[in-house]
Chains A and B, each alone.
Chain A
Amino acid sequence: MAFVSHSHRDPNGTYTFSSRPRPVENRSKYREPPSEQTHSNYGNIMYDRRVVRGNTYAQHIIPTTAQPDPAEIQRQQELRRRAIARKRAREEFRPKTPEALQGRKHIDVQTDLYLEELSDIIVATDIECQTDAFLDKPATPLFIPAKSGKDVETQIEEGELFDFDMEVQPVLEVLVGKTIEQSLVEVMEEEELASLRAQQRAFEELRNNELAEVHRLQEQERRHTEEKERRIAQQKEVLKKEKETAEKIAARAYTQQYLADLLPAVFTSLRSHGYFYDPVEKDIETNFFPWLMAEVNNSLQKRYAARELLDTIIHDVAQKRLERFKELETPAAKSDM
C-alpha cells in the first residue's frame, strides 16, 4: 500500500522491517481485495466494530492473565472436553455416521445446556474477595540432600590457575611484534630513501661530468671559431696587402715606361708645334714675308689695274671702231645702189 512499509535485506545480511505508522483502515467485514482508495477513509476508532467497548469484566472473549477461580477452571475444562468430544464426534461422522452398535441407540442431543448466549445484556455478578491475614510461616528447613557418592577433595596450588609466563606470551608477542613492525617499516623507508638518494647522486655526478665536458667543448668550439675567424681575417689582410703591392709595382713599371719616352716625345711635339724656333727665321717669316707678299700683291694689283684699264680702253676703241665701221658700211651699201 503505497510503500509505507519496508522490508529488505540489509547489506550485512540481516533482515529488517520498518513501516510508517498508519491509522487502522475501515474495512467491511467481508473483505474485498484492498483498493487504492480505502486508505483514505480512516474509520473513527470510536465506531470501529473491532475495538472492544464497555465492561470488559464479563466478556469472556479473551481471558488474560487473571487467575480464574476453580469454577471457571472447571467450566473451561468441561468446555474443552466437550469441544474435543465434538471434534472427535465430527470426525467420526465425517465418512458417514455408522450404525449404532448392539444395545445402543443414537440420540440427538442438544447441547443447549452448554450454549452461550451472546446478548447485549451482560451478565454481571459482584464477587468480593478478601485475603486472610498473613500467618507467620515457619522457616523452611534447610534442604540437605542425602549423601550419595564418593567424597573427593581437591586443592588449587599456587601457580596452577594462572601462569604468568604462559599468559604473558601472547601479549608480549603482540607488543614486540607491533614495535618491530613499526621499526621495520621506518627502517625500510629510510633505506628506500637512501638508495633513491644514492641513485640520484650517481646520476648527478655523471650529469655534472658530461655537463662540464659539454661546456668545455663548447668553449673550445667557441675559441676555435674565434681563432679561425681571426686567422681568416688576418689572411685576408695579407692578401689584400699583397694585391695592393702588386698593383703598385705594376703601376710604377708602367709609369716608368710611359715616362721614359715622354721627354723626347714632348720635345718632338713641342718642336712640331713650333715652340722651338729660330728667331731670325721666325722674324723673316712673320715680318718680312707678309710685307713682301703685300708688296707683290700691290704691284700685281697695279699691273692688273693697268691691264684692266688697257682692256677697257681697247674694248672702247674696238667698240667705237665697230660702230664706225658699221656706220661706214651702211652708207657704202646705200651708196652702191
Chain B
Amino acid sequence: MAGVLIDPTRAPVAFGRRAVPQLFEELQRPETGRRRRALASLCDLVHDPERLYQTVNGGFLEQLKVLLTDEDPSLRAKTCDLLHLLTAHSVGRQALLSSSILPPLSQLLNDSSSSCRRNVHQVLNRLAQLPAGADALLTLVPKLMLKLREEEEEEEEVQVLLLSTLSCCSRLDALPALASDGVSLLQRKLSHRSTNVRREAAAAMMALSVPEDGKRQVCEEAVLPVLVDLLQDEDVEVQANAAGVIMYTVVITTGKQQCLDLDVVPVLLHLASKKKEEEEEEDVERRRRRKALVMYSLRALTALAEAPDGRRLLLEQLPLLVERSEAAEEDRDIRRAALTAVRVVTWTP
C-alpha cells in the first residue's frame, strides 16, 4: 500500500508547509524518473499563490538553475514550464529578475528540444510584460532578433511568442531592435499566413516606429504598401496595429507623402467612421478592439491633415469626422480625437 503511487506521473506531496521543501529535496536525487515526478507535482502546486511564495522565498531558485543545465531534455522543458508558472505572479517575476537565472535561461534558447525552446519563450514573454522585465531583456534583443531570422519554418506559436516579447521590449526602448535591422525582418513577417503572427508583427512594428529613426526606416523600406494591405485584413487587431504603424509614420513628412501617394485616406476614413453594426456591438472585448482601431485611424487622419493635399481631401469628407465628434459618441476618447482631427482639418494659416 505504501509503495503504490496513486498517480504514477506525480511524486507524493507532503502536507502543509513541508510540501515544497520536500519536493525540492526530491529534486536532488540522482534518478531522473523521481525528478520528473517531483517537477510535475511542483508544477501543480505552484498554481497556489502561497506555495509559489514559499518556492520563491525559500531560496530554491538556485536548484532550478542547476536543473536548467540537466542532460534530459524533458527535465529541462519541465523546469522551464515551472518557471513559466512562477512568472504568473508578481512575486515570482520579481524573484526571477533579481536572481541571476536569466543567463542560463537565454542559453537554452539554442536548445535542441523544441518544447524546451517553446517554454523558454513563454517565460521570456511573461517576463517582458513587466516593465522591469522588459528592461532586463533589452540586452537579449539582438539574440532574439537572430532567432526570429532563423526560424522561418519554426512553429507559429514560438514566432508569436518571440514577436510579442520583442514588441514589449521595443515599447520600452526601440533602439536595439532597430539596430539589428528589425524593420526589414518584421516586414517579411507582416505577410505571414497566420493571423497571430501578423498581429504580433504589426504590434512590434508599431513599437519600432515610435522613434524618429524607426519612422524613417519604415518609409525607406517601403513597408507602407504592405501595411495598407493589412488595413483590409479580417482581424480587427491586425487592422488596429497596422493603423497604429501608419499613425506613427505619417508624422514625418516622407511618411505623409508616401501615404498620400498610396491613397490611404479613404481606407482610413472608412475605418474611422461610425458603422451601424458598431452600435449593436455587445461584446465588450470586441468593442474595445474596435475602439483602438478607430482611435488610431483618427490620429493618422489628423497627421495626414497637416499636409495640404491631405487637408484638401479631408475637407471634402468633413461630415464623417464631425459625426464622430458629436456628443452622441459615448466614448470620450474617440470624441476628443475626432475634435482634434476636425480642428486640424479646418485650420488655416
Q: Which of A205, A211, A216 has the most CB of B within 10 A?
A: A216
A268 within 8 A of B: no
Give the chain A neighbours of B333 by CB distance below 8 A.
206, 209
Q: Using CB atoms, name the residue of chain A closest to B89.
A: A189
Q: Using CB atoms, name the residue of chain B closest to A197.
A: B129
A203–B189 CA distance with the chains assembled, in angstroms: 26
Give the chain A neighbours of B253 by CB distance below 8 A.
219, 223
A223–B305 CA distance with the chains assembled, in angstroms: 13
Give the chain B neighbours of A44 by CB distance below 8 A.
none
Contact with B along A87-121 (1 / 0, CB 8 A): 00000000000000000000000000000000000
A contacts, CB < 8 Å to B: 182, 185-186, 189, 193, 197-198, 200, 202, 204-206, 208-209, 211-213, 215-216, 218-220, 223
B321 within 8 A of A: no
Q: How far is the CB of B287 from chain A (nearest CB, A)?
A: 12
B88 within 8 A of A: yes
B contacts, CB < 8 Å to A: 44, 47-48, 88-89, 129, 171, 206, 210, 244, 247-248, 251-253, 285, 288, 291-292, 295-296, 299-300, 302-303, 306, 333, 337, 340
Give the chain A neighbours of B291 by CB distance below 8 A.
205
A216–B295 CA distance with the chains assembled, in angstroms: 14
Query: Of B44, B47, B295, which contacts A209 at CB under 8 A?
Result: B295
Give the chain B neighbours of A185 by CB distance below 8 A.
47-48
Give the chain B neighbours of A209 by CB distance below 8 A.
295-296, 299, 333, 337
| Interface Cβ pair total, 8 Å cutoff | 59
Q: Using CB atoms, name the residue of chain B closest to A200.
A: B129
A36–B299 CA distance with the chains assembled, in angstroms: 96
Query: Of A202, A211, A216, which contacts B288 at CB under 8 A?
Result: A202
Give the chain A neighbours of B89 by CB distance below 8 A.
189
A202–B287 CA distance with the chains assembled, in angstroms: 12
Secondary structure of the A contact surface, majority rule: helix
Pairwise interchain contact A216-B171, C-beta atoms closer than 8 A: no
Pairwise interchain contact B47-A182, C-beta atoms closer than 8 A: yes
Pairwise interchain contact B306-A220, C-beta atoms closer than 8 A: yes
Given A208-B206, A216-B251, decide whether A189 and B44 contact each other with a Cβ distance below 8 A. Answer: no
Pairwise interchain contact B252-A193, C-beta atoms closer than 8 A: no
Pairwise interchain contact A212-B47, C-beta atoms closer than 8 A: no
Pairwise interchain contact A212-B248, C-beta atoms closer than 8 A: yes
Pairwise interchain contact A212-B299, C-beta atoms closer than 8 A: yes
Q: How far is the CB of B9 from chain A (nearest CB, A)?
A: 15
Given contacts A206-B333, A211-B210, A220-B306, 20 further A-B contacts (CB under 8 A): A185-B48, A186-B47, A189-B47, A189-B89, A198-B288, A204-B171, A205-B292, A208-B244, A208-B296, A209-B333, A209-B337, A212-B244, A212-B251, A212-B296, A213-B302, A213-B337, A215-B248, A215-B251, A218-B251, A219-B303
